[in-house]
């Protein structure tokens, strides 16, 4: 049924909490009288996918690791399985993509944040020696970490636990209520269905997203940096990340947006607006 997304700094204890969650779910589901006994529990993440710490030292390998996680979640998430995504998930864009996958399937999701100070995580990582991250990689990942925000729909419901603190137990009852007893929320802008898909929907999807990309590339030709860029077809503006965006980078974002919305049609007149919002979240 639900997707539970673990997140936290390196060595914050995500895998420990994920294993604890699986045990608590299995114990609850094993009760003879429980109405959700048909549910199974599974963990998917770096360990199960064979992703090593060193993968995060290379942009290309990290991209492959994120792709492997997304593919595995797409394959395994269902209304019959409690799926725990035990990976760094430190980029908000990745958590957003996982959130969209849950919405596509029509199931609930939540985020469990293993909170810990950078100093404490650094000390734990160093004590692990070769089993931990290298000191340089730890600092790089810690600097790039984007903490979850309960005000963002892809990070909500959000449950924060202080890792390595025996007094701070997992709020299992709240997590259970949020992902098992709660009904799945209606589709958001990335997965919203319209009653009837126009026969030219895919053509319009390709056209509108391509026009947004063309407007961004054309604006960059002047060499004058802008903070916000207007694009055709919408009053929304692209929030530029303070650097030039490459064609390959924009194409990757467009392909992901198209994949998310190919089977679940958007309103044609809103495609450009929603693509700009998608870029503003993921760039």
Domain boundaries of the chain, sorted by first residue: 3-181, 201-282
As a whole number, the mean pLDDT across the chain is 85
Angle at 273 between CA 158 and CA 68, to 5 degrees: 50
> pLDDT class for 133, splitting at 50, 70, 90?
very high
45 closest CA partner among 68, 75, 16, 21: 68
124 closest CA partner among 89, 161, 164: 164
Cα–chain center distance at 184: 17
pLDDT at 34 over 70: no
Beta bridge partners of 113: 7, 160
Q: Angle 201-220/247-262 helices, nearest 10 degrees?
A: 160
CA distance 265 to 253: 18
pLDDT of residue 231: 83
- Higher-confidence residue of 273 and 185: namely 273
The token pair that represents 174 in the structure block: 């709240």
Tokens 């137990």 locate to 169
Q: Specify the 3-state DSSP secondary structure of 167.
A: coil
By mean pLDDT, which of 22-36, 89-103, 146-160, 187-201 is the weakest? 187-201
pLDDT of residue 194: 42
- Strand ranges for 3-95 from DSSP E: 3-8, 40-45, 81-86
pTM, two decimals, is: 0.68
- Higher-confidence residue of 199 and 251: namely 251
What mean pLDDT comes out for the span 159-165? 80
CA distance 63 to 255: 15
Phi/psi for 140 (5° steps) reads -65, -45
pLDDT at 67 over 90: no
Q: How far is CA 175 from CA 21, 101, 117, 240, in A?
A: 9, 19, 23, 36
> pLDDT class for 165, splitting at 50, 70, 90?
low
pLDDT at 184 over 80: no
Most confident of 108-117, 238-247, 264-273: 108-117
Second-level CATH architecture of 3-181: 3-Layer(aba) Sandwich (3.40)
- Higher-confidence residue of 186 and 69: namely 69
Most confident of 134-143, 157-166, 174-183: 134-143
Alpha helices per DSSP H over 182-246: 201-220
């Amino acid at each position: 049924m639900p997707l539970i997304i673990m997140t936290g700094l390196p060595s914050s204890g995500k895998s420990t909490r994920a294993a604890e969650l699986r045990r608590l779910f299995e114990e609850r589901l094993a009760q003879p009288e429980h109405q959700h006994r048909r549910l199974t529990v599974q963990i998917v993440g770096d360990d199960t996918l064979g992703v090593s710490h060193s993968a995060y030292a290379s942009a290309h390998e990290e991209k492959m690791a994120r792709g492997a996680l997304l593919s595995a979640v797409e394959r395994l998430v269902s209304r019959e399985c409690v799926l725990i995504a035990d990976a760094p998930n430190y980029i908000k864009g990745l958590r957003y993509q996982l959130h969209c996958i849950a919405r596509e399937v029509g199931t609930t999701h939540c985020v469990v944040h293993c909170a810990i100070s950078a100093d404490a995580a650094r000390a734990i990582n160093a004590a692990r020696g070769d089993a931990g991250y290298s000191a340089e990689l730890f600092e790089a990942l810690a600097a790039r970490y984007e903490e979850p925000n309960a005000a963002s729909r892809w990070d909500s419901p959000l449950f924060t636990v202080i890792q390595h603190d025996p007094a701070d137990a997992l709020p299992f009852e709240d997590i259970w209520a949020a992902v098992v007893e709660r009904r799945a929320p209606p589709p958001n802008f990335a997965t919203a269905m319209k009653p009837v898909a126009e026969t030219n929907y895919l053509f319009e999807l390709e056209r509108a997203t391509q026009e947004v990309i063309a407007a961004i590339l054309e604006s960059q030709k002047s060499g004058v940096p802008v903070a916000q860029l207007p694009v055709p077809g919408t009053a929304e503006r692209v929030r530029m990340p303070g650097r030039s965006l490459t064609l390959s980078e924009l194409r990757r974002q467009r392909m992901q947006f198209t994949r998310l919305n190919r089977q679940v049609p958007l309103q044609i007149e809103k495609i450009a607006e929603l693509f700009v919002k998608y870029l503003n979240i993921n760039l």
